[in-house]
Chains A and B, each alone.
Chain A
Amino acid sequence: MAAMNMNLYSRGDKLFAIAVAVLIGLFTAATFYPFIYIAAVSFSSGFAAAAGKVVLTPVEFTMDAYKYILTDSDFWRSYLNTFIYTVGGTLVSLLIIIPAAYALSRPQLIGRRFWNLFAAFTLWFNAGLIPFFLNMRDLNLLDSYFGIIIAFAVNAFNLILLRNFFESLPQSFEEAARMDGANDFQILWKVYVPLSKPAIATITLFCIVSRWNGFFWAMVLLQSQEKIPLQVYLRHTLVTLSDDQEFTATLSSQPYSAESVTAAIIVCSIIPVLIIYPFIQKYFEKGILMGGVKE
């Protein structure tokens, strides 16, 4: 469509094109504005932030809110924890999902239909929060790094997505490897994995994003301050800042305010996402489409 010759457009078409460009521009600006606003608040003085004087650019520029956050050891601890949960969780997910997707794609697997349904059923029906929580308690996985990493390792959606991709691969490579005496582990590792880089990149991306952003279960399952991930730390801090009158009172004599500190925490936790975002963008568009899966 975009390749069409501009000269073919009538006046009405040009007006239409301009109107669409303007509307898209407005929506894009509206999407991006909150990020600019938060960044501006984080660099503004506590007084300006609390009085609602910030609109687009920092008012009475200062880094004090960042000094407050970056000197808080709990902040760094939670950052490290999120890193542990993200890297550990993603690795465990891949270690379980990739071999299972391979097995489910094999025609000779006995009960293949049953096992596929066994996985897919968990997408349609789940026991809910309470039985899941009680199960975690029975397994002694409350307040544990390992509990968080293992309990959210597998997702039937990712499994089916990768299985579909494996099924779509040509058989010829595999047959050649088989003739050379390769076993299933070797075929998976040397034939399927290299051929499936885009699909594996996609599920890796899904795992990383859901781990990095994971909040609810981390809040419910973890009690120790030193084990909580960044998102829970963020939540605790935001609630403390806005609810605790005493804290607000001590802040009134400070160069930062609840608002500017909140904004600074938000900026600090978005930065890693912004850094990896350009790298993942090419994958998630493909990934979404691979997600149009059938059992």
Chain B
Amino acid sequence: MINDPKKRHAVSDAPRKRSFKQKLSWFVDHVKNEWQIYLMLAPAIIWFIVFLYKPMYGLQIAFKDYSIFRGVAASPWVGWEHFQTLFGNDQFIRAFWNTIKISALNLLFGFPAPIILALMFNEIINATYKRFAQTIVYLPHFISSVIIAGIVTTAFSPTAGIVNTILEWFGYDSIYFLTKPEWFRPIFVGTGIWQEAGFGSIVFLAAIAGVNPSLYESAVVDGASRWQMMWKITLPCILPTILIMLIIRIGNIMEVSFEMIILLYQPATYVTADVVNTWVYRQGLQNGQYDVAAAAGLFNAVVAFVLVMVANTLSRRYMRTSLW
């Protein structure tokens, strides 16, 4: 009677102070009854081990003189040598600070954008107009980074691009934007806002939808204007959501969308555009310096992990809600 519901037992039913034999028989019984859920779980667990946990084992090459022919296990240990190389490498240090700077700019400009957008959407009275505008501003999120980069490259091209065409209308000289280090970050951050602000507003719109309507009703009775209601009711009510999203962003500071950077940068703009992951990509996958690049990747991952943990602790302490 494998499927007799009375025979099914939760883990808590496991006998605690019984003999080994009794425990074993309980376990055999459990497996007999519940083998199907373990069979269902197995492919995912195997997948996680093969594709995500095995590379973590491979991370040891960050402390080894890795050679392709010897493999991960047989390569000799070199201790912290690669990390010393890294911290003496100007390009790596630059990439690390660029990561922080680009993330900071993203936080400063990219974080408020969806909040402002959601507040404005909430003030639109005509439902059709609102729906139409939302449909359009969500769209770029679904466009691949290769296409976005293609559009940016075309639009900012020195001879053919619309941006320079407009500059010339106003009598300015055309600028080859994508070769100018000082223009890389504004273009990158601006592209990010263009692509993600609309989609990011969904979370805040949902929070706004959850605000108690009686607050607005009593404010209307008191003669409050829409502007006042936005500042004094909507914004304070969605503050918890804003803080949670902010904490998540802080946890992701090391996660700059490097795919987009690879598509947009060039040697002339490395000075402002190169981030840790793009540096890892060039050193490791293009130049074959696997061990040093893995060390840089490990450094990045550890910093990111610490940030996520700090963010989660902050959230647990101040928002009384754990992110995970």
Binding site for B on A (CB under 8 A): 1-2, 4, 6, 8-10, 12-13, 16-17, 20-21, 23-25, 27-28, 30-32, 34-35, 37-38, 41, 49-55, 95-97, 99-100, 102-104, 106-110, 112, 115, 118-120, 122-135, 138-139, 150-151, 153-154, 156, 159, 175, 178-179, 181-185, 188, 209, 212-216, 220, 231-232, 234-235, 238, 242, 257, 259, 262-263, 265-266, 269-270, 273, 277-278, 280-281, 284-285, 288-289, 292, 294-295
Contacts and interface: CB of A to CB of B under 8 A. Distances in A.
Identify which of B40, B45, B53, B323 gathers the most chain A CB atoms within 10 Å of its CB.
B40
A216 B216 CA distance: 48
A118 B304 CA distance: 18
Nearest to A160: B324
A127 B301 contact: yes
Given A115-B45, A270-B143, A135 B30 contact: no
A45 to B, nearest CB: 12
Contacts, number: 302
A133 B284 contact: yes
A281 to B, nearest CB: 7
Contacts of A30: 194
B136 A31 contact: yes
A235 to B, nearest CB: 5
Contacts of B58: 127, 131, 134-135
Where chain A touches its partner, the secondary structure class is helix
Contact of A130 (B41, B52, B144, B290): B290
Where chain B touches its partner, the secondary structure class is helix
A270 B147 contact: yes
Given A8-B220, A37-B155, A184-B36, A130 B129 contact: no
Contacts of A235: 146, 263
B313 to A, nearest CB: 13
Nearest to B295: A130
A26 B3 CA distance: 61
Contact of A131 (B55, B117, B165): B55
